[in-house]
Amino acid sequence: MLLSLPFSNRAVITPKWLPEIGPTRQVFITPGGMGDSVMFSAVSENYNRIKREKLFVSTLYPEVFQNNPTVTTVSPRFRKLLLKNRQWEADLLRRRIKPISAKYFTMVFNEDKRIRQLFPEGYLVSRLCQRVGLAGKISLIPKIYFKKNEKKFGSFFTSNQVAVQSKAKTPSKDWGHKKMQMIITALRDQLNFIQIGVRSDPLLEGALDLRGLPLRATAAVLYHSVLFCGMVGGLMHLARAVGCRSVVAWPGNEPEDKVGYRGNIHVKSKYECRMCAENQLSIFSGDKCPAEYRCITEIPLEGFIYAIRESFKDGKLDMEDETVTIAADPAQDCLELYHWKAMVDGHRRRTECE
């Protein structure tokens, strides 16, 4: 259920809302991307299993958690107002409602004052589980809960339905729609392709065009597909959440042991580059890759086609096959969120003055 928040103009919680959350509660604020919210569904699954409680989550993608019995979602305005109004956090804390930033990375500056995102040790879901106070054996698998009528949508072919993506959100993850077109051209006699993604993605000929579908409808298409062919991002996580195997064009700047799923097949370039890993490149400062993203653009077409054929040997994934054991390392309070925002805003102001 999605809670409505009756805010006043000064962004102070009204008593009407407090009984819905209850006292002595933590509200976890997910990172901004759709894939981050999908990953957080794995956190709520583990939390409910271990703590026997629901998580209160403020997310920009509440549809990810629809019908999810392990979560109560709070309006996205909760997250936005926290960033705008420090006094509002103090009001929350006085009422024993503690906002916590459920992020998995640390933002730091290089010596040249560029912002750098540092990934944690271990898988991202592991770190998020630690931040909500969990320890022990956890599952890394996200989950989407469908209603029966939602599953009626998404099956457009009787066999070999394959969902495909033509464009990634950022250049550092984008393999190129022309190569995806060549995949379809080479295999459309054997496979039935459906294109998913945002409406502005380049159109792929020979695929059923379903760009621009709502998130849950896209998830239903993936649920009925035997394979997803795409790039690192939200659709890859969404596919895993509904048990759809993926073949992913994997860039050198994404750590496989932190983001990837063991059931998927990652196709990589032979080009090796350490600029991102060694903090020489900062996408948060708007840097462009001097190597022109060769770690993603030079992924061989033949290798991707081979991976597609290999993936059909195993079919649907075992939803219980990815677990790890973690130690306790609870989250700090929401001050981290303010420190991060202040650091980024301050850096941008300095950069504009230079």
On the CB side of 184, CA atoms within 13 Å amount to 25
Q: How far apart are CA 289 and CA 105, in angstroms?
A: 22
**Domains of the chain and any CATH numbers:** 2-141+325-353 (no CATH), 150-311 (3.40.50.2000)
**What does the chain come to in residues?**
354
Contact (Cβ atoms closer than 8 angstroms) between residue 240 and residue 316: no
Position with higher pLDDT, 129 vs 283: 129
pLDDT digits (tens, 9 = 90+) for 193-244: 999 999 999 999 999 999 999 999 999 999 999 999 999 999 999 999 999 9
**Chain segment 80-103, per-residue pLDDT in tens:** 767 666 677 677 777 677 777 777
Q: DSSP per residue over 170-206, as a string?
A: SGGG---HHHHHHHHHHHTTT-EEEE-S-TTSPP-TT
In sign, the C-alpha dihedral spanning 311, 232, 153, 190 is negative
Q: What is the pLDDT of residue 231?
A: 96
- At 104, is the pLDDT very low, low, confident or very high (cuts 50, 70, 90)? confident
Alpha-carbon dihedral angle through residues 214, 217, 219, 222, given to the nearest 10 degrees: -120
Q: What is the pLDDT of residue 142?
A: 95
Which residues are registered as beta bridge partners of 326? 136
Task: Write out the two tokens for 104.
Answer: 């998995």
Answer with the residue of higher pLDDT: 204 or 30: 204
How many angstroms separate the CA atoms of 248 and 181, rounded?
Answer: 15
pLDDT in tens, 5-24: 222 323 333 334 444 555 44
Token pair of 245, please? 């195997």
- pLDDT tens for 39-58 read 999 999 999 999 998 888 88
Q: What is the pLDDT of residue 7?
A: 27
Q: For residues 182 and 111, which has the higher predicted lDDT (pLDDT)?
A: 182
Residue 301 pLDDT > 60, yes or no? Answer: yes
pLDDT of residue 244: 93
- Predicted confidence band of residue 277 (pLDDT cuts 50, 70, 90): low
CB 28 within 8 A of CB 102: yes
132-136, 233-237, 337-341: least confidently modelled range: 337-341
Strand ranges for 240-315 from DSSP E: 246-249, 265-267
